[in-house]
């Protein structure tokens, strides 16, 4: 019974997020979600009391997915001072590997991809969405990369500029990926960008 309940709740999250990605969070009602699932609104309310509760559960799942990847690829986590300390001797190849995993996570995995599209749609309409967009896709990743580079270079000002140089094109590639039919070409551009940056970084060091 517990397994069935869990599967039902996860199905609701998946279908709700698809609607949020298509019509926006603000443009989707509990009625729309119930209709998509083929259940009554009353049945939907047995699992989630509101659309906000569905969103909160989606965010919780995204955080869990993030932590799984961080642990899988042995990336530093927690306080920034700890991250810097752990990354002093880290090779750039590890950052490249994790960055590509993140890019594929946001573009090719359905749940994260829908989450990204929802945030892109809603960031100008709702303050919470704007903050989530920053945390997950803009200032959050940029800050994390800056901290990693700070640990490697021991130069905060230089690390900030290098983080911008590294992440700026990657951020742009999300839009290019969404707008093209040739997804493999975008992945190739990503690889080429990171290889070029790696050579530039070695030359500067």
Segment 102-127, tens digit of pLDDT: 999 999 999 999 999 999 999 999 99
- Cβ atoms of 75 and 98 closer than 8 Å: yes
Cβ contacts of 89 within 8 Å, gap of 6 or more: none
Q: What is the pLDDT of residue 53?
A: 97
Least confident of 89-93, 102-106, 131-135, 139-143: 89-93
Q: Is the pLDDT of residue 135 over 70?
A: yes
Q: What is the pLDDT of residue 151?
A: 74
- Cβ atoms of 148 and 76 closer than 8 Å: yes
Q: How far from chain centre, in Å, is Cα 11? A: 20
Segment 47-94, tens digit of pLDDT: 999 999 999 999 999 999 988 887 887 666 655 555 555 555 456 788
Q: What does the DSSP assignment read for 158-178?
A: HHHHHHHHHHHHHHHHHHHHH
Q: Long-range contacts for 89-92 (Cβ within 8 Å, ≥24 apart)?
A: 90/148, 90/151, 90/152, 92/152, 92/198, 92/201, 92/202
Q: How far from chain centre, in Å, is Cα 104? A: 10
Q: What is the DSSP letter of 11?
A: H
Least confident of 72-76, 109-113, 148-152, 162-166: 72-76
In this structure, the number of other CB atoms found within 10 A of the CB of residue 78 comes to 9
Q: What is the pLDDT of residue 1?
A: 35
Per the prediction, the chain carries an average pLDDT of 88
CATH architecture label of 1-56 = Orthogonal Bundle (1.10)
Where do the CATH 1.10.10.60 domains begin and end in the chain?
Answer: 1-56
Q: What is the pLDDT of residue 180?
A: 97
Is the alpha carbon torsion for 14, 175, 187, 97 positive or negative? negative
Q: What is the mean pLDDT of residues 36-49?
A: 94
């Amino acid at each position: 019974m517990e397994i069935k309940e869990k599967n039902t709740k996860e199905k609701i999250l998946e279908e709700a997020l698809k609607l949020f990605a298509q019509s926006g969070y603000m443009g989707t009602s509990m009625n729309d979600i119930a209709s998509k699932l083929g259940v009554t609104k009353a049945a939907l309310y047995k699992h989630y009391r509101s659309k906000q509760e569905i969103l909160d559960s989606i965010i919780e799942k995204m955080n869990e997915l993030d932590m799984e990847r961080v642990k899988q690829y042995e990336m530093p986590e927690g306080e920034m001072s700890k991250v810097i300390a752990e990354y002093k001797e880290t090779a750039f190849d590890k950052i490249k590997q994790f960055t590509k995993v993140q890019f594929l996570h946001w573009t090719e995995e359905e749940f994260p991809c829908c989450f990204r599209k929802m945030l892109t749609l809603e960031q100008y309409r709702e303050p919470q969405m704007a903050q989530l967009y920053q945390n997950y896709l803009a200032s959050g990743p940029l800050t994390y990369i800056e901290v990693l580079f700070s640990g490697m270079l021991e130069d905060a000002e230089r690390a900030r500029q290098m983080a911008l140089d590294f992440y700026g094109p990657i951020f742009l590639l999300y839009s290019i990926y969404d707008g093209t039919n040739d997804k493999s070409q975008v992945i190739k551009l990503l690889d080429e960008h990171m290889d070029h940056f790696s050579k530039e970084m070695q030359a500067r060091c």
